């Protein structure tokens, strides 16, 4: 404890200590427009004596609002301990970048860092000192709406992106006035609700949790994220917010997290609904015992103030520990030196949606877009082609996605606006709205299509159909959009379909009806320009899928790194002949589009792979030399991917696990050699005793450009004595 914190803490009453543990919205200080992210009871109003001791405020931003609240608060706070302002700055503040699922589809951690840096700089000017990001939850069920806030289904990709995001938000430590503290969420396994239903039970074994889910949280904590947020769900039979084993044994002790642990909205009160707490006082004591420092909007810790003298000594000690951690965070963020650190209305005006930020958002958006089909060179379009643009996503600024509450659709061009600047002739008709069953003015559309060279159909979901509390039983485009696409396809013109979405969808019919398909995970402020640049070939599509796209909804959850079964479907097996194997009778096991998949305009292939050493010590490094060739007349990029599989081990292993990836650029008609260096320690797995280590034995090493088309070679790992 440093001297500033020690001095303040020594003067604090128990009421003031508890106050530091309470977080409220800005509505308790002003008639503002705080971002509400959960249920709000108007009965939960604080007395002035409590209001001016609370430690933090969420959902308020804007330099003037934050400054005014802080000034008013400090007038009334006895010890002049400043408020800490927190907000959901997830994929942008005013300049909105692609949603995190889109950031993951760049397969480029630098793009994640850039996004987080810009978001931090803009929001810091607006008074935010803590962001509730990154979300590092592993997700495998597109029925769950918050997959949009994740970086996908793979533990390694999640881990890389989690660390990159923390780096971007926080910068070099100590955190300066242009950066914000990052919050790892939601601890833990929030992304695995049964049936994809929001806030539902999570029921996975501790072995599987450690083997698949824990690594991305660890990566963010190792990157020195300052806060962790609890999850709403149960894990190992106990709600996470009151789960002492999860929060103290695993988070605090194993992962060595020593920062601030904050509950999600009202999560402490929800212990009562879970049936693990009798009342609000009991819920508060359980959460404190689990190490939860800040109560977000449950008013459970405030309830303790009703009977100060009745608080047990054990709980008083826990309150002290939490108050100290919160004070230390405030000191680290510079609030005791300057309660208004970083706040600047002028900078906020200049910084937000500045041209340099837009250019960075454009680059990231371009790298996030995934080409999944391109028959007969339908794309790129020629600037001299006559294009008919149609569909509900064709002339809208609704490209920002969820968690873009400070973004402005007015700052977001539509695809129609941008494509007109790149193609000589663009005819337009919306044709159909997002949830309309019958096309508008069909006869006029038929007349327009007669004279065009290609039809570009922009379909998709609205921003409000992804994010928190947007679970779907059937993640697919509305029937009306599919019917409209089918009618357009019958007109006999080449069809380019763009799908704007916040989650994987069942696109089997879309694929069948289209000559080319582009997938864009809500691409942000500059999304329309990025899409139009890719359509005309000014930019190479280099995005790759961070989640598997199912062939049909019955396959869900479907993911590439599944464990093998005792009766697997073998490659080349006649599934129609063999009955007693792990398969469906009405669908293939394979997805429509696999993890890591994406196409480009340049023709880039792997032409040679060599493993430098097939026998490696447990402390050694697997090294492969891969030669790529671009046999086309245009420059391009691809994502080289390396997977491994443990052939025999104590516990079952996934059929393949991503262990390395890199975006590689090649000039036209050129070759490039890439060296893959993979430390053997990266092959660690969790065993039956829950310990993690690398087994001696044989491993399959696979290299390719997506998870389903891989070249294989075997290596042997041996525990050799070091000389």
SS3 504: coil
For the record, the structure tokens of 87 come out as 């907000």
Of 393, 391, 413, 508, whose CA–CA distance to 462 is shortest?
Answer: 393
SS3 128: coil
The yes-or-no answer on residue 264 being catalytic is yes
Hey, how many other C-beta atoms are within 10 angstroms of the C-beta on 567? Answer: 11
Tokens of 481: 């959009």
Cis peptide before 580 (omega within 30 of 0): no
Strand partners, 623: 677
Q: Which of 369, 346, 406 has its CA nearest to residue 526? A: 369
The CB-based long-range contact list for 681-690 (8 Å cut-off, 24+ gap) reads 681/619, 683/644, 683/646, 683/659, 683/717, 685/211, 685/646, 685/649, 685/651, 685/653, 686/207, 686/210, 686/211, 686/651, 687/650, 687/651, 688/207, 688/650, 688/651, 690/206, 690/207, 690/210
Question: Tokens 């508060």 label which residue?
Answer: 284
What are the Cα distances from residue 234, in Å, to 194, 195, 249, 273, 433?
Answer: 11, 15, 16, 12, 39
Non-local CB neighbours of 61 within 8 Å, separated by 6+ positions? 85, 87, 93, 123, 126, 127, 128, 406
Which spans in 275-312 are helix H? 280-289, 300-303
Q: Which two tokens stand for residue 139?
A: 């997700």
Inter-axis angle of helices 479-489 and 442-449, nearest 10: 40
Q: Cα separation of 400 and 95, whole Å?
A: 10
Cβ(231)–Cβ(188) under 8 Å?
Answer: yes
Beta-bridge partner residues of 662: 640
Question: 206 with 236: CB under 8 angstroms?
Answer: yes
Q: Could you give the CA distance from residue 400 to residue 382 in angstroms, rounded to a whole number?
A: 28
Per-residue tokens: 610? 């060599």
Task: Print the SS3 string covering 374-424.
Answer: EHHHCCCCCCCCEEEEECCCCCCCCCCCCCCCCCCHHHCCCHHHHHCCCCC
Residue 372 makes CB contacts below 8 A (sequence gap 6+) with 511, 517, 518, 519, 545, 549, 593, 597, 598, 599
- Residue 235 β-bridge partners: 238
Considering 65, 141, 264, 413, which one is annotated as catalytic?
264
Which sequence positions are flagged as catalytic? 264
């Amino acid at each position: 404890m440093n001297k500033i914190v020690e001095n303040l803490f020594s003067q604090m009453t128990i009421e003031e200590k508890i106050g530091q543990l309470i977080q409220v919205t800005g509505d308790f200080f002003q008639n503002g427009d705080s971002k509400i992210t959960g249920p709000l009871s108007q009965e939960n109003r604080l007395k002035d004596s409590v209001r001016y001791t609370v430690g933090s405020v969420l959902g308020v931003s804007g330099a003037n609002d934050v400054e005014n609240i802080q000034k008013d608060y400090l007038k009334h706070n006895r010890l002049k301990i400043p408020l800490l302002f927190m907000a959901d700055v997830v994929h942008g503040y005013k300049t909105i970048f692609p949603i995190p699922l889109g950031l993951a589809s760049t397969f480029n951690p630098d793009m994640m860092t850039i996004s987080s840096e810009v978001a931090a700089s803009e929001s810091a000017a607006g008074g935010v000192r803590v962001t509730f990001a990154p979300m590092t939850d592993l997700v495998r069920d597109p029925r769950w709406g918050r997959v949009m806030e994740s970086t996908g289904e793979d533990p390694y990709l999640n881990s890389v992106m989690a660390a990159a995001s923390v780096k971007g938000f926080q910068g070099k430590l100590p955190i300066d006035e242009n950066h914000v503290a990052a919050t790892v969420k939601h601890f833990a396994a929030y992304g695995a609700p049964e049936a994809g239903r929001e806030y539902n039970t999570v029921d996975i074994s501790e072995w599987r949790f450690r083997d698949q889910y824990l690594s991305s949280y660890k990566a963010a904590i190792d990157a020195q994220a300052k806060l962790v947020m609890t999850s709403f769900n149960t894990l190992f039979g106990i709600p996470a917010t009151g789960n002492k084993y999860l929060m103290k044994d695993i988070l605090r002790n194993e992962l060595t997290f020593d920062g601030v642990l904050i509950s999600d909205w009202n999560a402490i009160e929800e212990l009562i609904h879970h049936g693990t707490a009798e009342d609000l006082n009991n819920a508060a004591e359980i959460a404190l015992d689990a190490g939860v420092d800040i109560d977000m909007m449950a008013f459970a810790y405030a309830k303790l103030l009703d009977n100060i003298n009745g608080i047990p000594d054990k709980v008083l000690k826990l309150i002290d520990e939490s108050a100290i951690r919160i004070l230390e965070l405030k000191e680290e963020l510079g609030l005791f030196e300057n309660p208004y650190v970083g706040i600047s209305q002028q900078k906020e005006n200049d910084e937000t949606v500045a041209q340099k930020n837009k250019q960075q958002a454009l680059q990231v958006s371009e790298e996030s877009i995934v080409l999944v089909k391109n028959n007969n060179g339908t794309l790129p379009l020629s600037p001299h082609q006559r294009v008919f643009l149609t569909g509900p996503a064709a002339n809208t600024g609704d490209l920002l996605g969820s968690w873009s509450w400070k973004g402005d659709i007015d700052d977001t061009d539509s695809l129609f606006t941008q494509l007109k600047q790149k193609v000589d002739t663009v005819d337009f008709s919306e044709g159909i709205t997002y949830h309309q069953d019958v096309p508008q003015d069909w006869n006029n559309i038929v007349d327009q299509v007669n004279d065009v060279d290609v039809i570009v159909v922009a379909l998709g979901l609205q921003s409000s159909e992804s994010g928190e509390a947007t679970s779907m039983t059937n993640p697919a485009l509305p029937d009306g959009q599919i019917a409209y696409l089918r009618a357009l396809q019958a007109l006999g013109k080449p069809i380019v379909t763009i799908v704007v979405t916040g989650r994987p969808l069942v696109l089997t019919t879309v694929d069948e009806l289209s000559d080319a398909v582009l997938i864009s995970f809500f691409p942000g402020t500059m999304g329309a320009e990025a899409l139009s640049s890719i359509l005309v070939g000014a930019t190479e599509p280099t995005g790759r899928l961070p989640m598997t796209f199912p062939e049909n909804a019955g396959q869900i959850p479907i993911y590439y790194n599944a464990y093998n079964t005792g009766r697997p479907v073998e490659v080349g097996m006649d599934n129609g002949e063999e009955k007693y194997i792990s398969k469906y009778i009405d669908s293939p096991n394979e997805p429509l589009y696999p993890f890591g998949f994406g196409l480009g305009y340049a023709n880039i292939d792997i032409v040679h792979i060599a493993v430098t050493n097939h026998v490696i010590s447990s402390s050694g490094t697997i090294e492969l030399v891969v030669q790529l060739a671009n046999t086309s007349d245009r420059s391009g990029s691809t994502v080289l991917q390396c997977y491994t599989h443990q052939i025999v081990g104590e516990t079952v292993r996934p059929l393949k696990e991503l262990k390395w990836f890199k975006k590689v650029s090649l000039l036209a008609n050129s070759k490039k050699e890439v060296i893959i260096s993979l430390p053997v320690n990266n092959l660690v797995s969790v065993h039956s005793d829950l310990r993690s280590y690398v087994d001696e034995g044989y491993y399959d090493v696979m290299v390719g450009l997506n998870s389903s088309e891989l070249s294989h070679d075997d290596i042997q790992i041996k525990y050799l004595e070091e000389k």
